[in-house]
A and B are shown apart, each in its own frame.
Chain A
């Protein structure tokens, strides 16, 4: 009673690619690997910046870093971790996994996908060139006006920040559009929206958030660009400019941004927990709708970042209430995750440990968030280490741990080998302990009066011991990241080989070989529930059988699937498939680098911008006229 077409095809052999094939690839899987590797390198850089910060704060009045260096470090640490680590790491999983999860062969626009990656790389490199060209930005990751005015930060450091963020914004927007179209249009037959894996849902919501939020920051950054390059006065306080305008524009982006950062990790947790609990996600529709609700509501809370700016009692009250409301769907998700594990048969592999760690740490970060939601209380908390504690609990304890869970979960699928469980356990426990040692004391440091973004502090505050605990924790946390890197490198070579479905997962990515062939699915599967592989293996549950009526109406019963006979163990006929594949292309990287050069030229020399513009035009022109289809993949079934 096979209800899913057996899509197992003999592994296709393809050559280990050279650098040119990496440069021109449009394969979502390789682009995912590019994103993941690049994001990890930026993670190491951002982590180093954090360690330098923590070393400076080890004792009061320390002289390890100058004030200037310190201010650059925290600016770069925040900007890097948000834009160059968490977002691209999420993109790595969007890229590799979403087409597999929905039974597609690639994203809707493979070349646009490649363009997103190369543009991201350009933006990240541009930001870091600042270190070599007069100093990194020092305006903080949210660059409050008028710090970004030429009057207060003359020189180019702010330009690097302002321009690279715009380049990165283009990359994110392109990716968002791509994933929106992919998820809406390329789902396998029978995969209704409410049968789609939660990670794909969270990708969808995140993509909508990116499309709607990035324009706000782009507008703000363009206003800053006009001020800095054309003597405009949007934020020129001497000419009556209003710095609060920047804050509104920024946070209209900035708050949805933090949900962009967390929703993908929540999606990963929603995939990992059922597999390692051996039962379905509890309350699938509620989890999905909570994610949507969080996304929608995220646009109504932005000014909770501005409670101390004097907006007046009405604005304070409205944003307080909206912020409290958003805690409801967030809590609901947490309860559903715990209920997923309840009554299950928990397999505590490293992926599962990190997913559980996500829940445990996110609860703490969420609760401190509720404490901030009350403006009068927040007036003591805002701009102190209490806030630093909150967002690290949700972003590291939450997003990073969730993404790490995804890495341990999907590494076998991506590479065909397991990450070492032994190293993984060490990694997990070291991370959990070091993370809490670093950030839990910050709740106290903040409430006991230490503001954020201070390159030093007085010993009379008596907060030295707490700071030292955080520094020691940070050093251990650095160690845990190196341990992770070692696990990855070691396992790539010596990891235990993994089959198609090493974790007994339920979703479509586990139906194909590890690593997947370039075309993913030899035959596009038809699904009849959200757990296609468990249906096939354990039988479809009674109440889900009724969905087959819907399938008949949709025309997605096996008989109508692509006009091909149902393939399965019983089918003996061999057939030869020619699978349409996209063509590798140099034009997406050319266009992406062109964009980067255009921005860089605004700092270095107009000639570089002209060259960039030429590359951009050449890239787009070539892209338009190049045929999209490449060599078909030939599969013998």
Chain B
């Protein structure tokens, strides 16, 4: 018996060629072209993804080890993936166009398979993957080796919804923004005081989760000075999106100066705009009021460990874990009603009146 369809039988589903069928091909081509153009545009934007335009880009590392190691691995995987995409999608598109049913075509050859082809296209991907696997395993062990001796040690503690940074060897404790010297390896040991967070400065490299009852490790060497942004990258309820951080890379001299200043007790430093009465009032409110229960301001009675260390809060670029620019107005707004700015904030509203909030802000802003 041959494989021709039974005479006269045109099973449903085989349309006759009609005018409606024809425009589909040019239309399909146009769509493909458009998609290709969009992808090209996107790719261009991607390749131009430098840190000045995208402050949290992962594609423009500014460390000398962790970041570039990851970047190299990504590039090693990315371009073969693009090649596979072009080849396989191309084969798919070609097949659809080339083998569209045409009038007068009978039943196609009923091919069931081809063993050699199967072997070939099983082995080929496996080989490609081997080229990815070997550098991957190497990079895993290199980036998770013990941190080099002589590195700056920082202990990171994640909190809902702020970051605590302790420098155990240098005797510094700060929050949300931390300084490191350029060219020197920074070694982080990380844990959490509550739920799982994730510590991530994309310009330096990958992230590492910050887990309660666990100690995790991360290290990298910043390549040059600058300010680099990061944020929590593990959902931690409520204000996960508002748990941001800044890493400021100083020259070694500036870093030492920063450390020396941070080690000193809190010292109000008025500037040209300071209202001295307000400052005095604020100092009194903060160091004797509700603040002392949660915050530490070294050299004052404030010795709480629940909230961020405020000893040198005036020296930071931002407050409230990176969501507000550090100025008097914002400090006052925050102190007056934290949950309105950061949903779920553990610091309650109405601890102080409007006027008192301005006084508190004057004082805190002066703690450089």
A376 touches B (CB below 8 Å):
yes
Tell me the complex Cα distance, A451–B244, Å. Answer: 11
A19 touches B (CB below 8 Å):
no
Q: Contact: B129 with A316, CB < 8 Å?
A: no
Q: Contact: B208 with A279, CB < 8 Å?
A: no
Do A317 and B140 contact each other (CB < 8 Å), given the known contacts A345-B105, A454-B240? yes
**Number of B positions contacting A (CB below 8 A):** 105
A617 touches B (CB below 8 Å):
no
Do A243 and B211 contact each other (CB < 8 Å), given the known contacts A370-B77, A377-B70, A449-B57? yes
B360 touches A (CB below 8 Å):
no
Q: Within the complex, what minimum Cβ distance (angstroms) separates A53 from chain B?
A: 13
Quick one: closest B residue to A440, CB to CB?
Answer: B42
Interface string of A239-272 (1 = CB under 8 A from B): 0111110000000000000000000000000000
Instruction: Flag the segment in A4-12, A63-71, A595-603 that touches B.
Output: A63-71
Do A310 and B99 contact each other (CB < 8 Å), given the known contacts A335-B121, A348-B24? no
Q: Within the complex, what minimum Cβ distance (angstroms) separates B218 from chain A?
A: 9
Do A504 and B77 contact each other (CB < 8 Å), given the known contacts A67-B239, A278-B107, A364-B85? no
Q: Contact: A325 with B129, CB < 8 Å?
A: yes
Chain A residues near B100: list those with CB within 8 A.
346, 348
Q: Within the complex, what minimum Cβ distance (angstroms) separates B300 from chain A?
A: 30
Instruction: Name the contact of B217 in the complex, choosing from A71, A153, A310, A539 (C-beta under 8 A).
Output: A310
Chain A residues near B240: list those with CB within 8 A.
71, 453-455
Chain A residues near B140: list those with CB within 8 A.
313, 316-317, 320, 375-376
Interface string of B253-282 (1 = CB under 8 A from A): 000000000000000000000000000000
Tell me the complex Cα distance, A384–B241, Å. Answer: 12
Tell me the complex Cα distance, A244–B195, Å. Answer: 11
Chain A residues near B244: list those with CB within 8 A.
458
Q: Contact: A282 with B213, CB < 8 Å?
A: no
Instruction: Name the contact of A327 in the complex, choosing from B56, B129, B209 (C-beta under 8 A).
Output: B129
Chain B residues near A537: list those with CB within 8 A.
5-6
Interface string of A367-383 (1 = CB under 8 A from B): 11011011111111111
Chain B residues near A335: list those with CB within 8 A.
88, 117, 121
Binding site for B on A (CB under 8 A): 1, 66-68, 71, 138-140, 144, 146-147, 152-153, 237, 240-244, 276-280, 282-286, 308-310, 312-313, 316-317, 320-321, 324-325, 327-328, 331-332, 334-336, 338-339, 341-349, 356, 359-360, 363-364, 367-368, 370-371, 373-384, 429, 433, 436, 440-441, 443-444, 447-458, 460-463, 498-499, 501-504, 537-541, 543
A-B contact pairs, 29 of them (CB 8 A): A146-B194, A279-B108, A280-B111, A282-B112, A283-B112, A308-B207, A310-B217, A316-B144, A344-B99, A360-B92, A363-B88, A379-B208, A380-B70, A380-B74, A380-B205, A382-B233, A383-B207, A440-B39, A444-B45, A448-B59, A449-B55, A449-B56, A450-B56, A451-B232, A457-B241, A458-B244, A503-B11, A538-B4, A543-B112
15 more A-B contacts (CB under 8 A) besides A374-B136, A461-B56, A541-B3?
A147-B236, A147-B237, A152-B194, A152-B237, A276-B13, A328-B126, A338-B91, A345-B107, A363-B84, A367-B85, A376-B206, A451-B241, A502-B11, A538-B3, A543-B112
